[in-house]
Amino acid sequence: MITVVWFKRDLRVTDHAPLHDAARRGPVLPVYLFEPDLIAQADSSPRHLGFIQECLAELEARLAALGSPLQRWQGTAVEVLQALRDRLGPFRLSSHEETGNLASYARDRAVARWCREHGVEWQEWPSGGVVRRLHDRDAWSRLWMERMTPAPLAAPVALQPPPCPILSPLRLPPGGAPRHLAWHPDTLPDHPARQHGGRSHARQLLRHFFDQHLPDYRRGMSSPLSAGDACSRLSPYLAFGAVSVREIVHAVWRRRTELQAMPPDLRPRGELPGLKSFESRLHWHCHFIQKLESEPELECRDMHPAFAGLRDASFDANRLARWRRGETGFPLIDACMAMLRETGWINFRMRALLIAFSSYQLWQPWQKPALHLAREFLDYEPGIHYPQIQMQSGTTGINTLRIYNPVKQARDQDPDGRFVRRWLPALERLPDAWLFEPWKMPPELQRRQGLVIGRDYPEPLVDHEAAARHARDTLWRLRKEDAVRRESRAVYEKHGSRNPHREGTPRPRRPSPPTDSPQLGFDFG
């Protein structure tokens, strides 16, 4: 019987359990679906599709060399599967589990229903360290290690193709792009400054990170000036599966073994601490995806019910639009938006700053900003994105509030103003003394500098200090209520991180203080 291997966010042939299993069973038909309903979702973007197309080009070449080329299809998953059944007769379906948005979750439920109705066996394989139907969060760290310990699966030696060609109006030609797509109206176009897709780029980046940037990783990841070089930049390749988490974990372990075998005085300084930090983020990568896997509604619903609708009455379309356009009047916020718009990437600390500013200083509900950032982030990974957005917005009830001061962050992370001047040319000639608070510059000096606040650069949207006090007071007052504390314990039981060294010990009676632990995707890159 033919096995249809359905590629989703796993665009590779190495460490690919569905393909590995199908290759030993008989004929294999690899397929990738362009699903218009999913592409039209508000979190989808042309930059995502462009990156996917580049990953598919390498995947197609690899599968063709193995003997069974990838087929591209366009339509809903059920439409395509029905077309395949009409032409193939009975077949098996095999794919990785996917922790995606609510639309992909509904799609998978529809596929499962179709498979049951038509007697099609659909085998789903675990993806990374995410555990479907996890019953006890205390066991998750052990299960993650059990998933990561086996060696990554090798690519199949060869694939047996189906015995006859398959023709269908839903099938796209090799290398073909999807047709007649409808994007969300707020979607920005693709941009050539983003990273390019493909497994070869991921492998090259990993080698370069180990050889050149590992010693600088820990101290360089926070500043937008240094993070572009200090970080691995592997997150989009993980998000779309050009490389697996387990492959990178094993690369880290090999590198650590090599370093530990060296005499201590010959080890490159900073590499072992860098590896430790990097590995912890691979662990946190799966930890955050597990939250959405366990509660898919976190895409739109507050993790802690006491925070539901807290900011809804304060929604301000103008504030949101100015935040999106990078016209808040706070130079670091606006420079980050400019870089993100141009490249599809910004480092963790600045991502946290963007959503925190929207949530606390602007006091906006997190859902619409989350969708905007999802479209902008090339490395958008739903399972990381929505739990992280909620964590940075203060709606989890179990994480410390991090209300960033946008002026202090600018001085700390961009002390010479190089980042702001690069991305905000209007402020390029401003003296250092006024660069991060240009609204305080005297009118006469503004005229001499040729920059008038309110005309050439926006006035600040809010008094950021007063707004931060209001947000802090409101949220802490709510968090101190007994009913809110009780619900926080329930949230922690379901979603809270666990120290792996505490496995088997009694659970704490109240949520432990969280660590500021970024992970690949939302806050790593």
Q: What is the pLDDT of residue 507?
A: 36
Which residue bears the tokens 């199908």?
Answer: 22
How sure is the predictor about 484, in pLDDT bands with cuts at 50, 70 and 90? very high
* Judgement on whether residues 120 and 259 belong to the same structural domain of the protein: no
In this prediction, what percent of the chain has a pLDDT beyond 90?
90
Which tens digits make up the pLDDT trace of 440-475?
999 999 999 889 999 999 999 999 999 999 999 999
The last residue of one of the domains, among 69, 104, 125, is 125
The angle, 0 to 180 degrees and rounded to 10, between the axes of the packed helices 406-413 and 331-343 is 70
Number of Cβ within a 10 Å radius of residue 169? 7
**Residue 506 pLDDT more than 50?**
no
Task: Please count the other Cβ atoms lying within 10 Å of the Cβ belonging to residue 325.
Answer: 13
Single out the residue of 356, 396, 348, 401 nearest to residue 495, CA to CA: 396
pLDDT band at 508; cut points 50, 70, 90: very low
> Would you say residue 451 lies in a domain?
yes
Read off the CATH number of the domain in which 284 is found: 1.25.40.80
The pLDDT confidence band at residue 191, using thresholds 50, 70 and 90, is: confident
Q: Do 369 and 406 fall into the same domain?
A: yes
Buried b (16+ CB within 10 A) or exposed e, 130-154: bbeeeeebbebbebbeebbeeebbe
485 and 400 together in one domain: yes
In terms of domains, do 425 and 340 share one? yes
Within 10 A of 447 (CB to CB), how many other CB atoms are there? Answer: 10
Q: Give the model's pLDDT for residue 167.
A: 86
User: Which pLDDT value is given to residue 165?
Assistant: 83
pLDDT above 70 for 308: yes
Q: Do 360 and 320 share a structural domain?
A: yes
Domain-located, residue 147: no
Percent of the chain with pLDDT over 70: 95
Give residue-wise pLDDT tens across range 106-151: 999 999 999 999 999 999 999 999 999 999 999 999 999 999 999 9
pLDDT of residue 187: 87
Residue 510 reports pLDDT greater than 80: no
Instruction: Residue 265: give the domain boundaries.
Output: 200-294
**pLDDT score of 295 more than 90:** yes
According to DSSP, residue 457 is labeled: B
Single-letter code of the amino acid located at 99:
T
User: Of 294, 324, 348, which one is at a domain's C-terminal end?
Assistant: 294
What single-letter amino acid sits at 8? K
**Whether pLDDT at 268 is above 70:** yes
Using CA atoms, how far apart are residues 495 and 287, in angstroms rounded to an integer? 9
Q: Which pLDDT band, with edges at 50, 70 and 90, does 315 fall under? A: very high
Structural domain contains residue 145: no
Give yes or no for a contact between 478 and 362, defined as CB atoms under 8 angstroms apart.
Answer: no
Residue ranges of alpha helices (H) inside 348-415 are 348-356, 367-376, 382-393, 406-413
Q: Are residues 348 and 485 in the same domain?
A: yes
